[in-house]
Amino acid sequence: MTSDTGPDRYLQRMPKTDLHCHLIGTVRATTFAELARRSGLDLPASPETIYRDVNSLPPDPKLYEHTRIPVPRGRAADEPEVSYSLFQVSRWIVEALRDADDLTRITYEAFEAAHRTSSVRHLEVSFDSVPTHLESLGYRGAVDAYAEGIRLAERDFGMSGRLIAAVDRSTSAEQALARVREVVDNPHEYVAGIGLDNLETAGPPERFADAYRLAGEAGLRRTAHSSEHAPVAHNTITCIDLLGCDRIDHGYYVLEDDEVVARCRDERVPFVVAFTTSRRSWRPWRRASIAAMIDAGLNVILADDDPGLFPTTLADEHRIASEELGLDREKLRAMALAGVDACWLPDGEKEALRDRFGAEFDTLDAEEAAV
């Protein structure tokens, strides 16, 4: 619960962008419960229990034996007896969706929650390929449904939003190319770019060079999960140089290579990060890694990734930055403005958003000074 005064109030009210948010990961527990029961989904436990016990177990610890920031090997104190992985729960959520109205609903609710809990002014959400049971919608029908949710949120909350077409890195190069070709052949004002999702160890960035080249030629913006699951820094350089990424999602393992850190610092590469993860045992490592990235001078921007499932909010992520990392308001303001600079709005809208942030911060600071 956010207090009416003091630090919590400031962190909740400060204007924000959220540039790394998976749409399926925003679905509320109450919405999933309703959709699952309506659909008669066969689940191993109640929807409420499943949401409560989301916890992705770490992979083979031998992969992370020699990282600069030690990766935890034990269990977290809050790990449930029975865990449900982020990917499994996401699949169940997708199975519970039945039509275009459901897609519009979850999109609208993602924007509503971002606005209400965290004062998000611009939200970019990634969406997956159309599942088989909704294939009658087609790519365009699904995107139109998502876009309707954004339009309603823009009307109701004064926000802006964009969609990011997710490329599943567990698929082949040919499948990824087909996915991007679908996006390119069906241009939509709300689809700003593509992102490379799923476990980094399932598909190296080199596999997707052709798909990303096609996206770049079509004027789409590009990002990718990188240096998140594979404990190497060079994947991030590959994403920048070969895939042409404008920004990087996560990027914690760039800390393994001082030269990569120096280059990314000098080039002001945006790293869109989240303290909270479904791997509960890794949360301390995440926080230590982000602290080290900030100390190294990297361009770090806070996000909330899968806020409905972790659960977290973008205000919560800022609270961690303030209380656990000791970031002051000046630093948080600079990070918020860096989020505006890294967003995928057209230049004119981006400039207007930056002016809005400046005015809102000035008003908020004045109000806080008067308390």
Q: What is the pLDDT of residue 141?
A: 98
> 3 in a domain, yes or no?
no
What is the span of the domain harbouring residue 83?
Answer: 16-370
Distance CA 356, CA 359 (A): 5
User: How far is the CA of 357 from the CAs of 98, 348, 350, in angstroms?
Assistant: 38, 14, 10
- Burial string for 246-272 (b: 16+ CB within 10 Å, else e) reads bbbbbbbbbbbbeebbebbeeeebbbb
At 88-138, the pLDDT tens digits run 999 999 999 999 999 999 999 999 999 999 999 999 999 999 999 999 999
Question: Which of these, 224, 242, 222, lies nearest to 344 by C-alpha position?
Answer: 222
> 8 in a domain, yes or no?
no
In the numeric block, which tokens belong to residue 114? Answer: 């971002």
Q: Report the CATH number at residue 55.
A: 3.20.20.140
In the numeric block, which tokens belong to residue 129? Answer: 């390929």
Distance CA 290, CA 274 (A): 8
In the numeric block, which tokens belong to residue 136? Answer: 């009658």
Distance CA 72, CA 190 (A): 40
Whether residue 2 has pLDDT greater than 50: no
At 322-339, the pLDDT tens digits run 999 999 999 999 999 999
Number of domains in the chain: 1
At 275-299, the pLDDT tens digits run 999 999 999 999 999 999 999 999 9
Distance CA 139, CA 163 (A): 13
Distance CA 81, CA 315 (A): 29
Whether residue 1 has pLDDT greater than 80: no
Q: What is the pLDDT of residue 305?
A: 98
In the numeric block, which tokens belong to residue 367? Answer: 């109000």
At 14-64, the pLDDT tens digits run 999 999 999 999 999 999 999 999 999 999 999 999 999 999 998 888 999
Please tell me the pTM assigned to this model: 0.96
Q: What is the pLDDT of residue 7?
A: 81
- Burial string for 105-138 (b: 16+ CB within 10 Å, else e) reads bbbbbbbbbbbebbbbbbbbbbbbbbeeebeebe
Mean pLDDT of the chain: 96
At 140-163, the pLDDT tens digits run 999 999 999 999 999 999 999 999
> 2 in a domain, yes or no?
no
Q: What is the pLDDT of residue 10?
A: 95
SS3 call for 171: coil
Question: Which of these, 190, 182, 239, lies nearest to 345 by C-alpha position?
Answer: 190
What's the number of CA atoms in the CB half-sphere (13 Å) around residue 290? 29
Distance CA 155, CA 151 (A): 6
> 292 in a domain, yes or no?
yes
- φ, ψ for residue 308 (rounded to 5)? -70, -30
Q: What is the pLDDT of residue 104?
A: 98
Q: With contact defined as beta carbons under 8 Å apart, do 41 and 352 qualify?
A: no
> 281 in a domain, yes or no?
yes
The size of the chain, in residues, is 371
